[in-house]
Amino acid sequence: MSIIVTGAAGFIGSNLVQALNARGETDIIAVDDLTEGDKFRNLADAEIADYLDKRDLLPQLRAGRLGRPRAVFHQGACSSTMEGDGRFMMDNNYRYSCELLDACLTQGVPFIYASSAAVYGGNRVFREEREAERPLNVYGYSKFLFDQRVRRLLPGARSQVVGLRYFNVYGPRESHKARMASVAFHCFRQYRADGKVSLFGGYDGYAGGEHLRDFVSVEDVARVNLHFLDQPQRSGIFNLGTGRAQPFNDVAWSMVNALRAHDGLPPLSLVAMREEGLLEYSDFPDALRGKYQCFTQADISLLRQAGYRQPLLDVQQGVERYCHWLLEQEAGGWLPEMGQAA
């Protein structure tokens, strides 16, 4: 039976395909919208059985032309927190997800999908509870509303439904995301281009680079997805972060020192990086004021209760691994050119 991965040419979807391949799974139907054609690069080294355009998945699934899939990993979405077109966002993230979920429930197909920590908005409590959910933008609202639909359907569902609320994910195969790529990616590109990195300056009581996020490696995200594939009796909505809030400064410090080690240079402290002009801060963007999560930290109690016991990479571990991958891509000429982003 095939495994369907939507958003398969995207960041998390392509890493999930790679993780499935590493387990010997190749009967994979990759689903995406390749209007942005360069995303094919994320699948070029993967083994899949077929590719479907996003528009063709629902008709073929409903008509039974795909057989009965073993599972659907629904990773496809517009993930831009800056997207202002609410009609597009709701159609793409909410309505399409509702229709795909209904098709899976009708056929009894396990459905594992990407939710987001954006559902929590400016809250400081990050538990999978309605009281904690206050999205700050239409992206977060589209994810929140679908989670609400899942909650209503779960008591009567005859097959697995799992929502994973991703916190700040970083790692390989995200370069196509441009300005929405992780801060780790931007630190790498800035340092390679200019010999220094820039982070957002102070805002909402936090000093420059001191906003706190739960940064989670895409390696861990893929592992958790596969954990639920192996536990079809488990359903629910679960946070997927490390449970640690770390400042953006930690990401910059880890990336710069990883690159310095590559160049044969000794590590520096954060203070020394600032003094030597390797780390600087820009004015906080007006467009993000009132829409920015200054602090996130996943409560992963439910994830642990669902049997996921593996340790999760911290920022230094994950960023160093990511840096090595980026350097390999760069050396091979496989890292596409991308303009600087703030």
Amino acid letter, residue 237: I
Claim: this prediction has a pTM higher than 0.85? yes
In total, the chain counts a number of residues equal to 342
Q: Please provide the DSSP assignment of 78-112 as one string.
A: ---TT---HHHHIIIIIIHHHHHHHHHHHHT--EE
The CA distance from 147 to 142, in Å, is: 9
213 is in an annotated binding site: yes
Residue with tokens 């942005």: 36
Judged against a pLDDT cut of 90, whether residue 340 lies above it is answered with no
107 is in an annotated binding site: no
β-strand pairing of 50-53 with 71-74: unpaired
Amino acid letter, residue 137: N
Q: Which positions are annotated as active-site residues?
A: 139, 177
| pLDDT score of 290 | 86
β-strand pairing of 212-213 with 246-247: antiparallel
| pLDDT score of 81 | 62
Which element (helix H / strand E) includes 216?
strand 215-217
Q: Among 223, 217, 242, which residue's Cα sits nearest to residue 22?
A: 223
211 is in an annotated binding site: no
224-247 mean pLDDT: 98
Please state the separation of Cα 202 from the chain's center in Å: 25
150 is in an annotated binding site: no
H helices of the chain, where?
A: 11-22, 54-62, 86-89, 96-107, 138-153, 183-194, 218-229, 248-262, 270-275, 301-305, 315-331
Q: Are 40 and 34 in contact (CB under 8 A)?
A: yes
| pLDDT score of 86 | 79
Amino acid letter, residue 209: G
Which element (helix H / strand E) includes 311?
none
60-79 mean pLDDT: 92
77 is in an annotated binding site: yes
pLDDT tens string 149-186: 999 999 999 999 999 999 999 999 999 988 889 999 99
Give me 125's structure tokens.
């409590």
pLDDT tens string 296-337: 999 999 999 999 999 999 999 999 999 999 999 999 988 876
pLDDT tens string 273-286: 999 999 999 999 99
78 is in an annotated binding site: yes
Which element (helix H / strand E) includes 236?
strand 236-240
Which element (helix H / strand E) includes 166?
strand 161-166
324 is in an annotated binding site: no
Task: Report phi then psi at 179, rounded to 5.
Answer: -65, -20
Judged against a pLDDT cut of 60, whether residue 341 lies above it is answered with no
Confidence at 122, pLDDT banded by 50, 70, 90 = confident
The CA distance from 54 to 96, in Å, is: 10
244 is in an annotated binding site: no
Confidence at 342, pLDDT banded by 50, 70, 90 = very low
168 is in an annotated binding site: yes
Print burial letters for 4-25: b (CB count within 10 Å at least 16), e (below 16): bbbbbbbbbbbbbbbbbeeeeb
227 is in an annotated binding site: no
Helix, strand, or coil here: 266?
A: coil
pLDDT tens string 1-52: 899 999 999 999 999 999 999 999 999 999 999 998 899 999 999 999 999 9
Mean pLDDT over each residue of the chain, to the nearest integer: 94
